[in-house]
Amino acid sequence: MADKVLMKGNEAIAEAAILAGCRHYFGYPITPQTEIAAYMAKKMPKIGGCFLQAESEIAAINMVYGVASTGKRVMTSSSSPGISLKGEGLSYMAGSDLPALVVNVQRGGPGLGGIQPSQSDYFQATKGGAHGDFHMIVLAPASVQEMAELTVKGFELADKYRMTSMILADGTMGQMMEPVELDFDVKERPATPWATTGTKMEREHNIVNSLSLVAEELERLNFERYERYKAVEENEAMYEEFMTEDADIIVAAFGIASRVSKNAIVEARKQGIKAGLIRPITLWPFPKAPFEKAAKTAKAFISVELSMGQMIEDVKLATGCKVPVTLCNRAGGMIPSPEQVLEAIIEADKLGGAK
Amino acid sequence: MVVFDKPHALADVPMHYCPGCLHGVVHRLVAEVIDELGIEGRTIGIAPVGCSVMAYNYFNCDMIEAAHGRAPAVATGVKRSDPENNIVFTYQGDGDLASIGMAETVHSAARNENITVIFINNAIYGMTGGQMAPTSLPGQVTQTSPYGRDVNHCGYPIRVCEMLSELEGPEYLERVTVNNVKNIKNAKKAIKKAFQNQIDGKGFSLVEVVSSCPTNWGMTPVDALKWIDDNMLPYYPLGVYKDRSASKEEA
């Protein structure tokens, strides 16, 4: 077992990216994720990599687009308002089927919002994030260790499916320090015969492009892309279950909300309420299976979120609205307390008939 | 004996450009230069949004189509992915380079990004049907300035070479045109230098090509060529606006 080191979540992402073979980082300063850029600025020049502070979020994501076109691992990171600016590039990367990693360490919104933790970019991340039909693979870490592990996983999935992977963290995950074990078995990358690396006068020219003026052709490309998305949904959904076997009340929560919820669940069990947690690790694809299963026996679900209620829609879809789903939330940079979640569990326990 | 042939770097496909459009001339010049420098196999071109959006079909080197105005940022990524080997050029119009992509243009120049930028200035948005561009002349009638560009209302056209020449960063800035044989020959010299600079690691080289748009200017191709002389060149004088290496040699 490798030694553990104490790191901030943001630093863990940066180090894991380097270990995953990423040698190009482009970004623009924004709180609360700037440690990633600072770490890259220090490290990249020493390992033959490239850190470049872009003139804007828009330029940064397009620099990512450029490196991704050449088939190399590349990333950018930002926080909520900056991710909105990157939306254009995210759509173009989806349209050109380019792999890359984008990190969103969320803060409260809308608009300039605040700089405290939030999960209110859930819709933006999981439902596309910009114009056109597309998805990103969205990974939601709940510890500094997962910040690192999901970074490596994000690169691997991006390469495998030629998609953008997004780490959807929040200010807490980015800023808190925990021991991390940085010992990864990084898989070999798939070949990139599509990359624009120069023809070497040995092959036909490659074109990286999202323009398609013939409607039938553009439709075909969309259908093909969604076939790939279907494979992602079938194979890549990740989640954690905690005390769900006999649970009457299922809490759904990701990231920091899941850690608060675990405390509340342990306390609820002490009070005689059988509560459990399903923690989606991939937010897209949303892990429907454990919710479908739990909906057969649970009395109620609670979606605990740092938003006005976004993931709750996916919980309702996954449970087929068979049982009540309530919302336990704070917003604008506030985090629900274990007491608030416990209260929601007690209330939910009063709902629904006996199963 | 072959006296005239298509450059190898230029794809043998029909182009979508309007009759009398000068894109074909500039495409050919770029392709000739790529051939002469023997760099097709390591060249990656970036097409913009605008009339030359489908330039990716017209060059035989690897090509990328960028979002509107972002070509210099994409080029930055491509160049930095393999700075020793990749030769990277962007091909952009005035709306792309001097309006929506101005930040990318200025900052890639300021960084002296080692890329080649071919900038087509025809003072109008062609692809969308002839709207006012950042380089449309005072008084110029377009679809969105139907009474002529009123500088009190929407400001003055931007002289890109002059503006960028104030920056420390860029290596080489030259404005040329392609409205007659002599000017075409000069334009080719400038384009070749802009690529050679990149090969030599000298940095950001931009060639502004003053061009025409017979369709949206509402003129015959011949009249449009004359309009360049009579109206465009007085506002956009030809010449070298920056040549850092040459200045150093002189000094």
The residues spanned by each domain of chain B are 23-250
Coil vs helix vs strand at A331: coil
Task: For residue range B169-182, list pLDDT tens digits in order.
Answer: 999 999 999 999 99
Position A184 scores a pLDDT of 87
- CATH fold for the domain made of A240-350: Rossmann fold (3.40.50)
Position A1 scores a pLDDT of 58
Average pLDDT over residues A126-137: 94
Distance CA B217, CA B219 (A): 6
Which residue from B62, B73, B104 is facing A196, i.e. has the nearest CB?
Answer: B62
Average pLDDT over residues A185-210: 96
Contact A205 B61 (CB under 8 A): yes
Contact A74 B78 (CB under 8 A): no
pLDDT tier, A250 (very low <50, low <70, confident <90, very high otherwise): very high
- B59 close to A (CB below 8 A): yes
Is it the case that residue A107 has pLDDT exceeding 60? yes
Is it the case that residue B250 has pLDDT exceeding 80? no
Looking at chain A, the whole-number percentage of residues with pLDDT higher than 70 is: 99
Please name the residues in contact with B6: beta carbons below 8 A apart, sequence gap of 6 or more: B12
Contact A207 B86 (CB under 8 A): no
Kind of pairing between the strands at B205-210 and B239-243: unpaired
Q: Where in chain A is the domain with CATH 3.40.50.970?
A: 4-188+209-235
CATH match of B23-250 with 3.30.1330.10: no
Position A353 scores a pLDDT of 54
Mean pLDDT value across chain B: 97
Distance CA B207, CA B177 (A): 10
Which residues of B, range 67-96, sit inside 8 Å of A by Cβ? 67, 70, 73-82, 85-87
The residues facing A104 across adjacent strands are A78, A168
Closest-CA distance of chain B to residue A87, Å: 12
Distance CA A38, CA A50 (A): 13
Closest-CA distance of chain B to residue A209, Å: 5
Task: For residue range B96-137, list pLDDT tens digits in order.
Answer: 999 999 999 999 999 999 999 999 999 999 999 999 999 999
Position B248 scores a pLDDT of 85
Q: Quick one: tokens of A270?
A: 């002490």
Closest-CA distance of chain A to residue B56, Å: 7
Position B60 scores a pLDDT of 98
- CATH fold for the domain made of A4-188+209-235: Rossmann fold (3.40.50)
Is it the case that residue B47 has pLDDT exceeding 80? yes
Position B181 scores a pLDDT of 98
CB B198, CB B163: distance < 8 Å: no
pLDDT tier, B249 (very low <50, low <70, confident <90, very high otherwise): confident
Mean pLDDT value across chain A: 96
Which run of H or E residues covers position B176? strand B172-177
Amino acid occupying residue B204:
F
ipTM over 0.90 threshold: yes
Looking at chain B, the whole-number percentage of residues with pLDDT higher than 70 is: 100
Position B4 scores a pLDDT of 86
Closest-CA distance of chain B to residue A187, Å: 21
Q: Quick one: tokens of A294?
A: 């739990």
Is it the case that residue B159 has pLDDT exceeding 60? yes
Task: For residue range B216-230, list pLDDT tens digits in order.
Answer: 999 999 999 999 999
pLDDT tier, B1 (very low <50, low <70, confident <90, very high otherwise): confident
- Alpha-carbon dihedral sign for residues B189, B195, B197, B199: negative
Average pLDDT over residues A167-173: 95
Is it the case that residue A258 has pLDDT exceeding 70? yes
The residues facing B207 across adjacent strands are B118, B174
Distance CA B42, CA A198 (A): 4
Contact A205 B59 (CB under 8 A): yes
Which run of H or E residues covers position A117? none
pLDDT tier, B50 (very low <50, low <70, confident <90, very high otherwise): very high
Q: How many CB atoms lie within 10 A of CB A277?
A: 26
Q: Where in chain A is the domain with CATH 3.40.50.920?
A: 240-350
Average pLDDT over residues A124-129: 92
Distance CA B141, CA B147 (A): 6
CA angle B125, B208, B179 (to 5 degrees): 80
Task: For residue range A61-77, list pLDDT tens digits in order.
Answer: 999 999 999 999 999 99
From chain B, the residues in CB contact with A52 under 8 A are 76, 80
Distance CA B227, CA B233 (A): 9
Interface of chain A against chain B, CB under 8 Å?
A: 24, 26, 50, 52, 54-56, 58-60, 62-70, 72, 74, 88-89, 92, 96, 196-202, 205-211
Average pLDDT over residues A163-167: 98
3-state helix, strand, coil in chain A (%, to 5): 40, 20, 40
Please name the residues in contact with A2: beta carbons below 8 A apart, sequence gap of 6 or more: A181, A182, A183
Find, in chain B, the residue whose alpha carbon is nearest to that of A64.
Answer: B77
Q: Could you please report the per-residue DSSP string of A224-239?
A: HHHHHHHHHHHH---E
Is it the case that residue A326 has pLDDT exceeding 90? yes
Stated pTM of the model = 0.97
CB B45, CB B64: distance < 8 Å: yes
User: Among A11, A14, A34, which Cα is nearest to A24's?
Assistant: A14
CB A122, CB A312: distance < 8 Å: no
Q: Could you please report the per-residue DSSP string of A78-115?
A: E-HHHHHHHHHHHHHHHHTT--EEEEEEEBS-STT--S
Average pLDDT over residues B44-52: 96
Which residues of B, range 92-131, sit inside 8 Å of A by Cβ? 103-104, 106-107
User: Among A149, A144, A182, A184, which Cα is nearest to A3's?
Assistant: A182
Coil vs helix vs strand at B155: coil
Is it the case that residue B32 has pLDDT exceeding 70? yes
Average pLDDT over residues A103-130: 96
Is it the case that residue A175 has pLDDT exceeding 60? yes
Average pLDDT over residues B56-79: 98
How many beta-carbon pairs under 8 angstroms link A with B?
Answer: 134
